[in-house]
Amino acid sequence: MKSILDFNRARQAGRPIVMVTAYDAAMARLVAVSEADVILVGDSAAMVVHGLPSTVHATLDMMVMHTAAVRRGAPEHVIVADLPFLSFRQGREVAVRAAGALLQAGATAVKLEGVTGHEDVIAHLVGSGIPVMGHLGLTPQSVNQLGGYRLQGRSEAEAARLRAEAGRLEELGAFSLVLECVPAALAAEITASLAITTIGIGAGNGTSGQVLVLNDLLGLDAGFRPRFARRYLDGHAAILTALNDYARDVRGARFPAREEVLA
Ligand code: KIV
Ligand code: NA
């Protein structure tokens, strides 16, 4: 995808939107030549790249650096970058500065979690020409308040709140929104009620598209296997085999071979 207009074009054409995260130029180059549509520089970078315990630990500097690297690897793609923890909760000025830094680093759009309490910021960003993607349901930056990573919108009261928040995001001018870990029927209902697109993760197949964390899709972490994140590669085993083959070849004097020696 070349612009945010392609989100609604895809939906109108009945083509599910394929989104995947990337954090560095090498992986962005691979995604860019793949059939995936959109790259998300998620604040999941804090966890999967930096080994931090939650996305609460993502910083603006971190997100700017990853966004710039991904843009260098994928010069033509739509890139959505996460606004990090609290950067959109300290008023319009701080939010605009943070979003501006992400756009100048190469993002096409920013994503932020939740809506209640920062409606003015969302409207102001959109009014400033910064495309905003919402993120509802399981919003990981609020993990301490949610009490863990679990399905959201199960009770009728929670479902009603999610419906209302999705409608509010559309009113405020968001061009799309992520629905994370919500019941499939609710995600489908919200999608049908909106004119903007929804991108699901752990939200069934009634959304306008799907997003996966690249490290999960590639199976890089042997110990992290949420049910909703399909593994398309056992990357952990594949990389471990390569590393051990290398170690054994060095110790067995099989690497470097004659043709690998520079004369
Ligand atoms: O940070 C991230 O990777 C995300 C996706 C899981 C939607 O926000
Ligand atoms: Na995120």
Counted domains in the chain: 2
Side-chain-side CA neighbours of 142 within 13 Å: the count stands at 16
Q: Is the same domain home to 207 and 245?
A: no
Q: In a structure prediction context, what are the per-residue pLDDT tens digits for the chain, which is 263 residues long? A: 999 999 999 999 999 999 999 999 999 999 999 999 999 999 999 999 999 999 999 999 999 999 999 999 999 999 999 999 999 999 999 999 999 999 999 999 999 999 999 999 999 999 999 999 999 999 999 999 999 999 999 999 999 999 999 999 999 999 999 999 999 999 999 999 999 999 999 999 999 999 999 999 999 999 988 999 999 999 999 999 999 999 999 999 999 999 999 98
**Using an 8 Å Cβ cutoff, are 87 and 141 in contact?**
no
Q: Is the same domain home to 45 and 115?
A: yes
> What angle is formed at CA 227 by the lines to CA 238 and CA 43, rounded to 5 degrees?
75
Q: Is the same domain home to 162 and 242?
A: no
Q: Is the same domain home to 141 and 207?
A: yes
Would the ipTM clear 0.95, i.e. be above it?
Answer: yes
pTM score of the predicted model? 0.98
- Give residues (CB < 6 A) around ligand 1: 21, 40, 42-44, 82, 178, 180, 201, 211, 213
Q: Is the same domain home to 87 and 164?
A: yes
Q: Is the same domain home to 156 and 70?
A: yes
* 165 catalytic per annotation: no
Distance, in Å, from the CA atom of 115 to the CA atom of 38, rounded to the nearest integer, reads: 23
Q: Which of 102, 201, 217 to mutate to test the pocket of ligand 1 (most atoms within 8 A of CB)?
A: 201
Q: Is the same domain home to 180 and 137?
A: yes
Q: How far is CA 88 from the centre of its chain?
A: 17
Task: Give the structural domain span for 261.
Answer: 234-263
The CATH number assigned to the domain holding 135 equals: 3.20.20.60
Residue type, 172: L
Q: Is the same domain home to 242 and 199?
A: no
